[in-house]
Amino acid sequence: MGLIEMASGNSVWRGMDYYKNKKVIAWEKSGTDTYDGKVSGSGNSKYFVHIDKAHPRKSTCNCPFAEGRRVVCKHMIALYFTAEPQAAKDFLKKVEQWEAEEAEREKQHYDDLKKYVKGLSKTELQEQLLNALVELEERRNCYW
């Protein structure tokens, strides 16, 4: 699992913001798969960040969220995207793909529903419509 997969969605997007706003003050490649950097946090805080792409759990940051825990924080993501902008591009491309697939699934679902409704007899339609209306009323917490 990579850094991005290990981070929460929230950390990835906040890290993306940090990357875009150039919050990584300094960084260097410190090994084959590792980077060390300094990232400015909220207010005047600065954090020392170490990331290990091959072993994401060995990444460290001294921010309150990640210190002493084996988690991936937004500062690590910001450092990762700054050191490897292609990773940020790939991530955004993947998100775009997911969204396109999701839209496709929704359209497919809509088409299936339409087909289903068109195949119903009048009696079935009346019954289904009544059920749907009753359910709608109940969901609104308004009983008749």
| Residues of the shown chain interacting with Zn ion in the complex, contacts defined by CB under 5 A | 61, 63, 66, 73, 75
If the CB atoms of residues 55 and 94 are measured against Zn ion, the closer one turns out to be 55
Q: Which is nearer to Zn ion, 7 or 66 (CB)?
A: 66
CB of 102 to Zn ion, least distance (A): 30
Q: Are 32 and 26 in contact (CB under 8 A)?
A: no
The greatest distance separating any two alpha carbons of the chain, rounded to the nearest whole angstrom, comes to: 72
Shortest reach from residue 60's CB to Zn ion, in Å: 9
Least distance CB 66 / Zn ion (angstroms): 4
Q: What phi-psi label fits residue 77: left (phi over 0), alpha (psi between -120 and 50 degrees) or beta? A: alpha
**Residue with smaller CB distance to Zn ion, 73 or 87:** 73
Q: Which is nearer to Zn ion, 76 or 87 (CB)?
A: 76
The residue among 69 and 93 lying less far from Zn ion, judged by its C-beta, is: 69
Report, in Å, the least distance between residue 11 CB and Zn ion. 9
Give dist(CA 110, CA 142) in Å, integer.
28
> Distance between CA 107 and CA 91 in Å, rounded?
24
CA-to-CA distance for 29 and 32, rounded, in angstroms? 8
Q: Whole-number minimum distance, CB 48 to Zn ion, in Å?
A: 9
